[in-house]
Every structure is written in structure tokens, then in C-alpha cells.
Structure 1
């Protein structure tokens, strides 16, 4: 009897991933920790792995993954192979594809066609995030600890534009501001970026290549079952 019951126990695996506040995608306060956390949890579960989350400010979430304090972190964009992130981390298949736009105050004259159009502007950013226009001459990137604080600075006129996921920006304006404040913010025409976000796990840990492979396999199963599309539809409908 000991052998019979010992086998399932021996196969049980638990990993710890750092997570952060990125409503409505990720949050310690949302059901299932948000739709994207739910996708990661269930993809691993399909491969027999249980996920434990620790919620951190984004710079700390990244640092803990970088130094092996946790097994990995979600979710992050990963640049070309030459970047630090791509060199130090393995990355999964795409977990989330987000459309990014520029938010600005109504009445503020702003149009965007290329990154050079941001020269001379006060652009709101989030600490720990990477932006492709960071090194554009004349761009003043004013970072805040959270997306919500960026929008508060935008409403107050302390910055000129905020680049953010369309879903995130609309969620914050709908849930964190008075209707009259939210009504004063609009979205610039066009999408300045489409970003793919992934689970990252550091290369230095030998086990992580196997975890990434199993996660990708579980993610494919989740998509084939239709649950991935269901969770994203629930997200768009405001159920998280």
C-alpha cells in the first residue's frame, strides 16, 4: 500500500513564480489572480505542476527571477537575442498578445506616426518596464511605480502621454477614476505596438528548460480545449 500511494506523491511538483499588479490581466486581488495568471496556472496543471505565486513590485519580481529566488516570472516581453533579458532568460510561447496605444488628455494636440514624434514630450512609464523609445533623443520618460499612478499624473497634467495596453488603460480609467475624469482622457489614433508577453525562467537553472517545454505543451492543450479563448473572452467582457 505504501508503494501505491507513494507514486502520486512523488510526482507532485510545485514551482514558485513572481507575479505583479497589471490589471485586468494580473492581480493578487482578482479571481484566479487574473485571466493571464489563470492561463499559466492551468497550462502547468495540465503537465502535473502546481504554481505558487508571490506578488511583488515589478522590479523586484524581475530581480527575484533573475537571481533564482523564484523559478520564474510572468509575464514579460522579450527582445532580440542581444538584450539582457533574452540572454539571461528562457521564454515560453506567447501567453498574451496586447495592443498598446497612447493615452492623452482631450484637447491636447498629439499625433503619432513614429517614435521620433515623442521628442520633447513627457512620456509616462512604469518602473521595471522596457520601452523601445527610451533612447529616442528628446524623450523624457517619467516613470511611476504603477500604471494607475501614470494615469493620475496624466489626468493632473503632469505628463503628456501614457503608452499602455488598451485593455489596461480602459480598465484603470473605468474603475479608478471619477466618470468626469475618465471622460477627459482619449486614445490617439493607431496602435503604436503589439507586444507578445511570455513566461520567463532563467537559463542558469538546469531544470528550467524542461519546465518551459512542459509549460508550452500545457499551453497548447489549453488552447486546443477552447479554454484559452474562453478566458480571454471573459477578460474582454469585464469578468475579471
Structure 2
């Protein structure tokens, strides 16, 4: 059974954005993560309306209180701007970053020092924890897709990316033979937790976060959360 809020349920508006395959206006249920947020709130009698924006605007509208909150964001340590200005929910998504490389290329990641001397395909504007280390060279493209195309062409050796995002791009935007030429190095070099954020200055935010967390726990206890994540891993979004 899907979680469906009762008729006349209160409705909140959240800003959202394009981050395939997790979030997208073009995907069923607006993507796996949107579905999880929607159903967690529904279990608490709250209906969600999404407005899809470019990410800077999605954040700014939440920051200014033009929407009740935004999905989904990493929050960081206490004292950062985001942690100061927003309340955050329990973890909605934990994204694991891995290294993609060509099959036949001998690469195993154990520490950041293993990257020294390699041509690393990065994305413009992204920060990588290993940049600046001795022997590390990052060749940036505008998107992860373009970095992966450079990898297929042999112009870079490895590409760090979210496992789900990288697999989605290979599955949907590359020829099967091209995608089959790429593999993933064992091990996760980084994991990031993403959460619903709601403005601290809004009086209703605290109660909404409590209710959302309660709904999210119910969704996990029912097994549906794991089911939706399994669908994501199987390429059903």
C-alpha cells in the first residue's frame, strides 16, 4: 500500500531540482528520493507539492522562506551557513562516491596517494578532497557525462562520481558497448548524507521536521524505503 494523505490534508511546498536518477521532474514519482520524501510526509498526513528549480534558486527560495523547505542537501558541520540557517531531517539518502575506470586499466583505490600521477576526470565547480595533494592532477569538464566520455575515449584514467549517478549516465547516455567498457573500482572513497532542510526562522519548521522524521522511520520499518532503493539500484528510475 502506498502512503496517501487523507483528503483535506495540509500541504507544504518544497523546492526540488534535477539530480538524476535521485530527483527529476521527468522521472516517475519525481525520482526515488522525491518519492521517499512524499511518502514519509504522507504517513504523517501531509501532502507535498514540489517546485523544480535550478539548484542555486532552489536553495535561495528555501533560504528566503518562499517555500517550506528543500530536498535534498548535505548540511555539514555545526557553524556552517547551512547548519546555522536550516534545521535538517534524518538522513534521506546516503550517496556513495566511487572511482570509474576503463576495464583493463590496473587501478585499485586504498588511499588518496593511489591517485598520484593519474589523469583524474573532474567536474568544473566540484570540490574534491584530494585536490592539492602532491602528484594529483584533475582535468575538469562541465558535466559528469563529459568526464565519463573522456574516460571512454582514454583521455583520463579515472573519474570520481556518485555510484548511482555514474551508472545512470552510462546506462542512459552511452552506447551499450561504451558503457560495458567502464567498470567501478572496489571500495567507496567518500559517502555523503543528504537531508530535507527547513528554515530555522520559520516557526513551523521544527514540528515539520519531527513529523517528517517520524514518517521516514515508518517508511523504513515497513520495508518500502529499502524497496525503493532496490528499484533505484536495479535501474527502474
TM-score range, shorter chain: 0.7 to 0.9
Which of 78, 86, 90 matches 2:75?
78
Relative distance call for 1:98 and 1:126 in structure 2 (3 A) is: farther
- Asked if the contact 1:126/1:147 (under 8 Å) is kept, the reply is no
- Asked if the contact 1:43/1:219 (under 8 Å) is kept, the reply is yes
Which of 191, 194, 199 matches 1:197?
194
Which of 18, 21, 39 matches 1:24?
21
Would you say how many aligned residue pairs link Structure 1 and Structure 2? 229
* Secondary structure, counterpart of 1:38 in structure 2: helix
Matched, 1:125 2:123: yes
- Kindly state the Cα deviation for residue 192 of structure 1 after the two structures are TM-superposed: 0.3
Q: What CA RMSD, in Å, does the superposition of the two structures yield over aligned residues?
A: 2.7
Matched, 1:235 2:232: yes
Q: Which residue of 2 is the match for residue 182 of structure 1?
A: 179
Worse-matched range after superposition: 171-180 or 56-65 = 56-65
Relative distance call for 1:225 and 1:178 in structure 2 (3 A) is: same
- Kindly state the Cα deviation for residue 108 of structure 1 after the two structures are TM-superposed: 5.2
Query: Unpaired runs of 5+ in structure 1?
Result: 1-7
Q: TM-score, normalised by structure 1?
A: 0.81
Relative distance call for 1:226 and 1:108 in structure 2 (3 A) is: closer
| 1:128-147 mapped onto 2 (5 Å cutoff) | 131-133=128-130, 136=133, 140=138, 142=140, 144=142, 146-147=143-144
- Asked if the contact 1:72/1:201 (under 8 Å) is kept, the reply is yes
Matched, 1:163 2:165: no
Worse-matched range after superposition: 130-139 or 87-96 = 130-139
* Secondary structure, counterpart of 1:52 in structure 2: strand
Which of 186, 201, 206 matches 2:203?
206
Relative distance call for 1:18 and 1:147 in structure 2 (3 A) is: farther
- Kindly state the Cα deviation for residue 111 of structure 1 after the two structures are TM-superposed: 4.3
Which of 51, 57, 60 matches 1:60?
57
Which of 95, 107, 117 matches 1:98?
95
- Kindly state the Cα deviation for residue 178 of structure 1 after the two structures are TM-superposed: 0.8
CA distance, structure 2, for counterparts of residue 205 and residue 98 of structure 1: 29
Q: TM-score, normalised by structure 2?
A: 0.81
- Kindly state the Cα deviation for residue 43 of structure 1 after the two structures are TM-superposed: 0.6
* Secondary structure, counterpart of 1:205 in structure 2: coil
